[in-house]
Amino acid sequence: MGNEKVKCLIIGSGPAGYTAAIYAGRANISPVLYEGIQPGGQLTTTTDIENFPGYPSGTSGTMMMEDFREQAERFGADIRFGIATATDLSAPPYKITIDGEKTIEAESVIIATGAAAKYLGLPDEDTYAGMGVSACATCDGFFYRKKVVAVVGGGDTACEEAIYLAGLASKVYLIVRKPYLRASKIMQARVHHHENIEILFEHNAIGLFGEHGVEGVHLVKRAGEPDEEKYDLAIDGFFLAIGHKPNSDIFKPYLDTDEVGYIITEPGTPCTKVPGVFAAGDVADSNYRQAITAAASGCMAAIEAERYLSECEYRLKSK
């Protein structure tokens, strides 16, 4: 297949990608957006969203992303299904390979490929997705007020999620594989001293159970040891807090990333070290990972892309 030339290429959908497409479309820079492996992003796996402004009665993640997509198309965004499989950001126009076949030559690029939450790999995690299994306490904790939940993990993120949930739930179990927490000393202290949190050291979750949603977790204590013990624990929600993997691998030869893989941008902006290439949403956000912050960064990326293209056009005309 031949090459196609575009002004602004947006890679990835979700709140960041679609918002970038809305702003880029309104700026008349003819954005082309490839939705990626999960059209709509991680939000489509969330059943109810109640904390996004403009939806006073709440909505589903799928419906919200359909609204975003429709709005982007209204302003002329060309939205396509396809996955970016290779990149060449060495010099403009930047070359992005789609599905291993087609090459897009883009004057500017907005990366909104997101980050995937890490799971334990239990079949039950898929079975109960949206029915008690979550990888975002801030997103879903509200639905577990006065209920019993479990958080899996032993690092800072797990401790932060446990503390957040402890302010809502009646009881939080922190399931830790090792006999100690990996979190910072201050986070360890906060967890140890919180009356609503119980730490289960040397425990592994091996399954979930429940008829219409999560009702409990199958646990094994001190797996493989002579005193190994298996038992069931009644819970209403199961939260994974073992990290995220940014979808940034194909960009790493050209962009700076941190040790986890989050794309590094100039502080307070979506600008990467490559002029005309911008990163928005969870692929560059290891801190908040919220729909509204992703949307905000998508807006910023589109504005920066329009400014960059205008400057390039001005320099060309001035020659």
Q: Name the residues annotated as catalytic.
A: 136, 139-140
Q: Which of 32, 63, 31, 39 is nearest to 50 (CA)?
A: 63
Q: Which of 110, 61, 108, 101 is nearest to 83 (CA)?
A: 101
Peptide bond into 93 cis (omega under 30): yes
Opening angle at CA 249, ends 244 and 253, nearest 5 = 140
Give one word for 52, left, alpha or beta, with left for phi > 0 and alpha for psi -120 to 50: beta
Cα distances (Å, whole numbers) of residue 167 to 50, 142, 197, 238, 258: 18, 10, 10, 16, 31
Q: How far apart are CA 202 and CA 220, in angstroms?
A: 8
Q: How far apart are CA 241 and CA 136, in angstroms?
A: 8
For the CA atoms of the chain, what is the radius of gyration?
A: 22
